[in-house]
């Protein structure tokens, strides 16, 4: 057995379709946010297809959290990111972890 099989496979780049699927939104929204938020800088291949790094995906998580989950306007989200990006990232990570814990607890309850 090869030791490589035990390693999780992580992608260097994600297509816009894969990213849109992660957030359950249309690709047009991802393109729109790319134009609105300067922290999103996907690379483009020779064909012009966007290639998102994990950092881009992480930044999208924060944007999604502010706009879709907390109800910020785009201008409000931009302002929040400019003022205190690290605090915003930590809050998003805490919310994500709490969702995971809740999901685990609901599954545990349903199995009792």
Q: Residue 89: how many CB atoms within 10 A of its CB?
A: 16
Predicted confidence (pLDDT) per residue in 7-49, tens digit: 556 788 999 999 999 999 999 999 999 999 988 999 998 998 9
Least confident of 1-15, 24-38, 54-68, 77-91: 1-15
pTM above 0.75, yes or no: no
- Nearest alpha-carbon partner for 85 in 95, 73, 13, 93: 93
Pick the CATH number of 3-110 from 3.40.50.920, 3.40.50.2300, 1.10.1660.10, 1.20.140.10: 1.10.1660.10
Q: What percent of the chain has pLDDT over 90?
A: 44
Q: What pLDDT score does 5 carry?
A: 54
Q: Give the residue with greater pLDDT, 69 vs 8.
A: 69
Please tell me whether residue 14 adopts helix, strand or coil conformation.
strand
């Amino acid at each position: 057995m090869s030791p490589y099989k035990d390693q999780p496979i992580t992608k260097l780049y994600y297509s816009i379709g894969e990213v849109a699927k992660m957030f359950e939104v249309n690709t047009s929204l991802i393109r729109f946010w790319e134009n609105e938020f300067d922290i999103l800088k996907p690379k483009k291949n020779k064909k012009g297809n966007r290639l998102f790094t994990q950092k881009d995906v992480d930044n999208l998580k924060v944007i999604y959290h502010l706009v879709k989950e907390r109800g910020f306007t785009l201008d409000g989200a931009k302002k929040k990111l400019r003022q205190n990006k690290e605090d915003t990232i930590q809050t998003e990570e805490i919310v994500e972890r709490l969702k995971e814990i809740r999901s685990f607890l609901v599954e545990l309850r349903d199995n009792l």
